[in-house]
Amino acid sequence: MTHEQPILSVTELSLSLKACVEQVFASVRVRGEVFGVKRASSGHIYFSLKDSDSVLSAICWRGKSTQITQLFQEGLEIIVTGKISTYPGRSSYQIIVESAEPAGEGALLKLLKDRQEKLAKEGLFDPARKKKIPYLPQTIGVITSPTGAVIRDIMHRLNDRFPTPVYLWPVLVQGEGAADQITAAIQGFNAIPATGLQTPDGLIPRPDVLIVARGGGSLEDLWCFNEENVVRAAAASQIPLISAVGHETDTTLIDYASDLRAPTPTGAAEMAVPVRSELILHLSKMNTRLTEGLFRTVQEKQTHLTLLVKSLPNLIDLIHLFTQKLDDKTERLQNAIHVFFQTTTQKFSTLTRLLDSYSYTAVLKRGFALVFNQQNSLLTTTNEAKQTQPVKIQFQDGDFILAHSIQNKQDASSPQPLSKKRKKRTFSPQSTSDLSEEQLDLFHEK
Q: If DSSP codes are grouped into helix, strand and coil, which group holds residue 244? A: strand
**What does 121-159 look like in DSSP terms, one character per residue?**
HTTTT-GGGPPPPPSS-S-EEEEE-SSSHHHHHHHHHHH
The answer to whether residue 67 scores a pLDDT higher than 90 is no
Number of domains in the chain: 4
Q: How far apart are CA 45 and CA 23, in angstroms?
A: 24
Strand partners, 168: 142
Tell me, yes or no, if the pTM score tops 0.85: no
CATH code: domain of residue 179: 3.40.50.261
Digit-coded pLDDT (tens) for 71-97: 887 888 889 999 999 988 888 899 999
Q: How far apart are CA 390 and CA 114, in angstroms?
A: 137
Strand partners, 102: 78
Domain termination site, one of 58, 85, 103: 103
Q: Are residues 144 and 197 in the same domain?
A: yes
Percent of the chain surpassing pLDDT 70: 89
Q: Are residues 135 and 268 in the same domain?
A: yes
Q: What is the pLDDT of residue 418?
A: 44
Give the lowest-confidence range in 104-108, 198-202, 265-269.
104-108
Domain termination site, one of 103, 137, 157: 103
Q: Are residues 383 and 260 in the same domain?
A: no
* Residue 42 placed within a domain: yes
* Structural domain for 434, as ranges: 370-410+422-445
Digit-coded pLDDT (tens) for 104-115: 777 778 888 888
Digit-coded pLDDT (tens) for 367-418: 788 888 888 888 888 888 787 778 888 887 887 777 665 554 444 444 444 4
The answer to whether residue 430 scores a pLDDT higher than 80 is no
Q: Are residues 161 and 195 in the same domain?
A: yes
CATH code: domain of residue 22: 2.40.50.140
Q: Residue 225: which of 270, 188, 261, 267 has the closest Cα?
A: 261
